[in-house]
Every structure is written in structure tokens, then in C-alpha cells.
Amino acid sequence: MNYQNAPFPNSFLFSFMIVEAGNLRAKSPTLLLSYAVNKEYVLLSQDSENVKTYYKLSIDDTTPFTQAFKNSFIKNLDLQILDQSVLQKSKTFSKLEPIEEENLVSIGNGLLLLKTKQASIIPEILSETGSEQLILARIFYLLEPEPKPSDKSKLIVTLEVLIYDKRGKLIFAGEKTKTTSTYLPDDDLSVANFMGDVLMATFKGKVNIKVNKYCRPILFDSAKKLWLEMTEDIKKKVK
């Protein structure tokens, strides 16, 4: 796993982290402290010397990501996943300073990010919430162009998961990536709107195009499949 090139500058995946010996305790209370996804990704395409096209894939609803976690992780692992409402019991959690990240959205009510210096408080949060294990998860997606004249791109989705035990020791670190070829044209892109964009581009030098019709369903499906694959790896740690 390449922690150093993790997609987020404040990622909880750090290059110095070492996975220690240990197992997940079956049927034990487990806290999902952080689960986040980037709100959008913009692919810049230089169509000509004067015009730039921005293809924007965005997230309006995080429900599919929640369902992907519930239908694979919770359903297929013998763990008791605690509702994040238990965080109200933690004085340590309530004192944490919120971390600003414009392009990240939290799935649930947990932390958006966990910085390096905050990792030392994991045992306190677990003790105060009656948890035995703690999970951090992140989904990151991006678009990469395919060679012209193709109207497709590669949608690359990555799931990162870290699990800590009651001592605050990292006992699992996993990363799964899925790449799918997808169309860029979108249902929001009518001929009239496109011609209007082209005319505006003559003066402003750019065209903005949403790419949610084809890309977003693939993103949701990829998240589901990645959680299923990750669950199989985590099963090996449950005793």
C-alpha cells in the first residue's frame, strides 16, 4: 500500500504507520469513527489552444455509500457495529477540533478526518464509548481521460480502511481500487446547452460539463464491490 501517495493531504494513511499483530474480536462492539468521500472530482480536458473543458463528477447523496458499508461489512462480518450516536458519550471526542476539508463529506456523524496527533486518543474514545475496536474508512474517486477521439474516461475508485484495537494499535490496513471505463457525455448536456457553452467558451475559454448520468451509478456500484472485497480480507482478522 502506498501511504505516501495517499490522495488526501490530511489522510489518516501515513507513511510511518506499521500494522501490528492482533485480531478483531468477534461479536465485539466496534465503532466506525470516520467514513468520508470526496464531494466531487473535475477532469480538465484541453480541447484546443483556447478552450478548456471541465468534466465534473459530483456526489449529492451519500446513502449508497452507507448502504454499501451496511450490506457488506455489517452483514458479512461477525462484529457489533455501534451507531455513531455513542460518540455523544465521549468527552474526548467532543473536545476535538473540527477539521476543514472543502472537498470531503462525512458519511454518518463521525469525524471527517483523524490527524496524526489525534491518533493517540483512540484508546480514550474506545473506552468512553464502550467499544473494543475502531474503524476509519475513506472512499476516493477520480477520472482519467482515455486517448482521443474516445468520449470515454477511466473512473478510478479507491477504498481505504484502517482498524485499531482497544490499545490504540493499528491491526489492519487495507486498500482496494477498481477502474472502470465510462462515458463522459451526460443527460444534462442537451444540444442547446452545449452550443451555448461553446459560444461562452469563445469568450471565456472554458466549457463546464456534468458527468453524473453514467459515472455516478458506476461509482456507487464500485463502492459496493470494493466493500465486499475488503470484507473478505478483514474476515481473516476476526477471531
Residue-wise pLDDT for 106-137, tens only, equals 887 777 777 767 788 899 999 999 999 999 99
Give the range among 16-20, 24-28, 38-42, 161-165 with minimum mean pLDDT.
Answer: 16-20
In Å, how far are 11, 120, 136, 165, 213 from 116, measured between CA atoms?
9, 8, 13, 17, 38
The confidence score (pLDDT) of residue 176 equals: 95
Q: In what order do the strands lie in the sheet with 52-58?
A: 40-46, 52-58, 206-210
Do the strands 29-38 and 104-106 form a parallel or antiparallel pair, or are they unpaired? antiparallel
The x, y and z cell numbers of residue 204, run together, are 471565456
- How many CB atoms neighbour CB 209 within 10 A? 18
Confidence of residue 203 (pLDDT cuts 50, 70, 90): low
The x, y and z cell numbers of residue 29, run together, are 462492539
Which residue has better confidence, 50 or 96? 96
SS3 44: strand
Confidence of residue 162 (pLDDT cuts 50, 70, 90): very high
The confidence score (pLDDT) of residue 37 equals: 94
Burial, 180: exposed, middle or buried (Cβ in 10 Å; 0-12, 13-18, 19+)? middle
Residue 157 near residue 151, CB atoms below 8 Å: no
- What's the predicted TM-score (pTM) here? 0.84
The x, y and z cell numbers of residue 213, run together, are 448520468
SS3 27: coil
The average pLDDT across 97-104 equals 77
Long-range contacts for 199-206 (Cβ within 8 Å, ≥24 apart)? 201/50, 201/51, 202/51, 205/50, 205/51, 205/52, 206/51, 206/52, 206/53, 206/54
Phi then psi for 74, rounded to 5 degrees? -70, -40
